[in-house]
């Protein structure tokens, strides 16, 4: 199925499940919606932190159509499930945003790790959490993002274990996808990022690190969501974890 077909299944209420593995080759995106009076700061935050926040599309205030990423899409209905935060507190997990959307809402679509994971798998490299049927392990680091207005906080990274040789290959492959977080930001020493214990991720689930493997860390799309929640805006709308917005963009478009 195409990205558009998945969107239509979400819009009709038929699909309410997570999207990993759906529509291979079509880009899945993170969604963050904030009111217009916070949109400049959030856009500036994304610009200043393009590794965790690779922007695919930004809508006009009040316009639910992501005209670059999905010309007939609607950010209010086309994810399988959403989250609604009021002053940083989760208050609803609806299957559409029709009751929450406002005339001053701006939607930000951000690139997602699924794009480069597919490229890693195609190259025969391991993606351990996929092998083990888990959610990717994610960690808050001691590395601060460049702040913008209310939006400030630490970089969040995802981790995939590999041999050092595989890490070199992964670096070469992923740096070709600047709109999907790009190359890993660090390989080898978790303490260099202020991570104390790999077996206790801050988000997602721990995975097995085999003998001879090192942890490889990528800037993670959870960063902008965590930062946006920390800013405790009056209203914040996002996709539910793993319930991404399918676009018409192709993985190859993420080469930047």
Q: How far is the CB of 48 from its own copies (least distance, A)?
A: 8
Complex with its own copies: residue 18 or 176, whichever CB lies closer: 176
Residue among 39 and 79 whose Cβ is closer to its own copies = 39
SS3 247: strand
Rounded to the nearest whole angstrom, what is the least distance from the CB of residue 204 to its own copies in the complex? 31
**Residue nearer to its own copies on the CB measure, 40 or 87:** 40
Listed in sequence order, the DSSP H helices in the chain are: 3-11, 36-48, 114-122, 128-131, 164-174, 222-230
Question: Between residues 39 and 207, which has the closer beta carbon with respect to its own copies?
Answer: 39
Smallest gap from residue 57 Cβ to its own copies (A) = 10
Q: Is 161 left (phi over 0), alpha (psi -120 to 50) or beta?
A: beta
Q: Would you say 50 and 213 are in contact if contact means Cβ atoms under 8 Å apart?
A: no
Least spacing, CB of residue 139 vs its own copies, in Å: 27
Nearer to its own copies, 195 or 228 (CB): 228
Residue 155's nearest CA partner among 193, 108, 111, 204 is 193
DSSP codes of every residue in 66-122 = -TTT-TT--TTTSSS-EEEEETTEEEE--S--TTT--TTEEEEEE--THHHHHHHHH
- Contacts to its own copies by CB under 8 A: 36, 39-40, 43-44, 47, 55, 58, 60-61, 106, 148-149
Shortest Cβ 55–its own copies spacing (Å):
7
């Amino acid at each position: 199925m195409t990205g558009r077909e998945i969107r239509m299944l979400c819009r009709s209420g038929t699909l309410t499940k997570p999207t990993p593995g759906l529509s291979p080759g079509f880009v899945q995106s993170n969604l963050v919606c904030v009111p217009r009076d916070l949109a400049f700061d959030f856009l500036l935050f994304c610009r200043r932190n393009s590794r965790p926040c690779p922007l695919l599309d930004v809508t006009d205030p009040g316009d639910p159509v992501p005209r670059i990423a999905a010309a007939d899409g609607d950010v209010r209905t086309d994810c399988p499930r959403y989250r609604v935060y009021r002053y940083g507190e989760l208050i609803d997990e609806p299957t559409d945003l029709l009751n929450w959307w406002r005339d001053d809402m701006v939607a930000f679509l951000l690139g997602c790790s699924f794009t480069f994971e597919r490229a890693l798998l195609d190259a025969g490299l391991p993606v351990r959490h996929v092998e083990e049927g888990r959610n990717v392990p994610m960690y808050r680091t001691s590395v601060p993002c460049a702040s913008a207005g209310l939006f400030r906080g630490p970089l969040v990274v995802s981790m995939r274990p590999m041999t050092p040789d595989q890490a070199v290959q992964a670096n070469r492959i992923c740096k070709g996808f600047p709109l999907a977080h790009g190359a890993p930001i660090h390989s080898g020493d978790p303490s260099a990022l202020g991570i104390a214990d790999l077996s206790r991720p801050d988000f997602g689930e721990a995975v097995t690190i085999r003998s001879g493997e090192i942890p490889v860390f990528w800037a993670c799309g959870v960063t902008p969501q965590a930062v946006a929640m920390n800013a405790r805006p009056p209203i914040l709308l996002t996709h539910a974890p793993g319930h991404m917005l399918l676009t018409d963009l192709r993985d190859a478009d993420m080469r930047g």
